[in-house]
């Protein structure tokens, strides 16, 4: 009787462990789970409703247009063309996405930012980029590199990173990210352009700047 009891306990513990493992398993449990906006007949998986796999079509896994340059006529001189689950619904649950980044000649910048849900691997196909990322506190160590066509650089998940065109011509890079929707937090926009604005006293103390400077920076980034 004790032996049977021990076996039952062992099975119970095994089942419990398996249930915990499956709860945190990021792998899809079917071939694909094409995202849909209409939840009438869908199943909610990983932030999206999924259509019946039998109704999936090739266009659910397709995007066209990454051959077209982005418009870099803006204050930072760069443009990011995103291809994530919102552009390709078939990416849902597949933990991957792609971007094309265009940089204006000397000075085109993809400003310091983070991806809270994905690591990024960047491939330069045209131009010369100065890139880098900063490690977390307390070290705040800066890793930088100058990249040329064919060079690849990795930005670890969640860390602040940037790319800056130091060449005299335009630059183009493609990046893969380890999430169907990695998210992006552009540091300056988030800090000085939050809605509603962060109390200037908070930022003045955090950045050790005069409050008038903080208010000026907020005026550059925030609009109601």
- pLDDT tens per residue across span 100-149: 999 999 999 999 999 999 999 999 999 999 999 999 999 999 999 999 99
* Residue 196, preceding peptide bond in cis (omega within 30° of 0): yes
- Which residues make up each annotated binding site for Mn(2+)? 113, 115, 120, 161
Q: Which residues are annotated as a binding site for oxalate?
A: 110, 115, 120
Query: In this structure, which CATH number among 3.30.2010.10, 3.40.1160.10, 3.20.20.70, 2.60.120.10 belongs to the domain 69-183?
Result: 2.60.120.10
For the entire predicted model, the pTM comes to 0.82
- Return binding residues: 110, 113, 115, 120, 161
Whether the Cβ atoms of residue 184 and residue 118 lie closer than 8 Å to each other: no
Q: What percentage of the chain reaches a pLDDT higher than 70?
A: 81
Sheet holding 43-45, edge to edge: 35-36, 48-50, 43-45
Residue corresponding to tokens 């609009």: 223
Mean pLDDT for 31-46 is 69
CA distances from 18 to 12, 15, 35, 173, 198 (A): 10, 5, 27, 42, 45
pLDDT-derived band of residue 177, with 50, 70 and 90 as boundaries?
Answer: very high
pLDDT tens-place string over residues 4-29:
455 434 444 444 444 444 333 456 66
**Which residue(s) pair with 154 in the sheet?**
121
- Number of neighbouring beta carbons within 10 Å of residue 90: 21
Inter-residue contact 172 to 69 (CB < 8 Å):
yes
Residue 161 has pLDDT above 60, yes or no: yes
pLDDT digits (tens, 9 = 90+) for 70-105: 999 999 999 999 999 999 999 988 999 999 999 999
Distance of CA 112 to the CA centre of its chain: 13
H-type alpha helices, 67-186: none
**Poorest-confidence range of 16-20, 40-44, 165-169?**
16-20
Separation CA 138–CA 116 (nearest Å)? 19
Q: Cα 4 to the chain's mean position, in Å?
A: 51
| Domain extents in the chain | 69-183, 186-223
In this prediction, residue 50 has a pLDDT band, given cuts at 50, 70 and 90, of confident
Which pLDDT does position 155 carry in this prediction? 98
């Amino acid at each position: 009787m004790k032996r049977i009891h021990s076996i039952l306990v062992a099975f119970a513990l095994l089942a419990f462990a398996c249930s915990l493992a499956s709860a945190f398993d990021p792998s899809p449990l079917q071939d694909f789970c094409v995202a849909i906006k209409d939840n009438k007949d869908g199943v909610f998986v990983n932030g999206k409703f999924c259509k019946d796999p039998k109704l999936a079509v090739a266009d659910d896994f397709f995007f066209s247009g990454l051959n077209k340059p982005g418009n870099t006529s803006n204050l930072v001189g760069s443009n990011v063309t995103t291809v994530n689950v919102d552009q390709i619904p078939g990416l849902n649950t597949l933990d991957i996405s792609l971007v094309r980044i265009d940089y204006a000649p000397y000075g085109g910048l993809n400003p310091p930012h983070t991806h809270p849900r994905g690591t990024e691997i960047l491939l330069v196909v045209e131009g010369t980029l100065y890139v880098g990322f900063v490690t977390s506190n307390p070290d705040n160590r800066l890793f930088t590199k100058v990249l040329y066509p064919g060079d690849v650089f990795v930005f670890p998940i969640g860390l602040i990173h940037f790319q800056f065109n130091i060449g005299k011509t335009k630059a183009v890079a493609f990046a893969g990210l380890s999430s169907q929707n990695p998210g992006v937090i552009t540091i300056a926009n988030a800090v000085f352009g939050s809605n509603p604005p962060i109390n200037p006293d908070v930022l003045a103390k955090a950045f050790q700047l005069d409050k008038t400077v903080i208010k000026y920076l907020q005026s550059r980034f925030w609009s109601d």
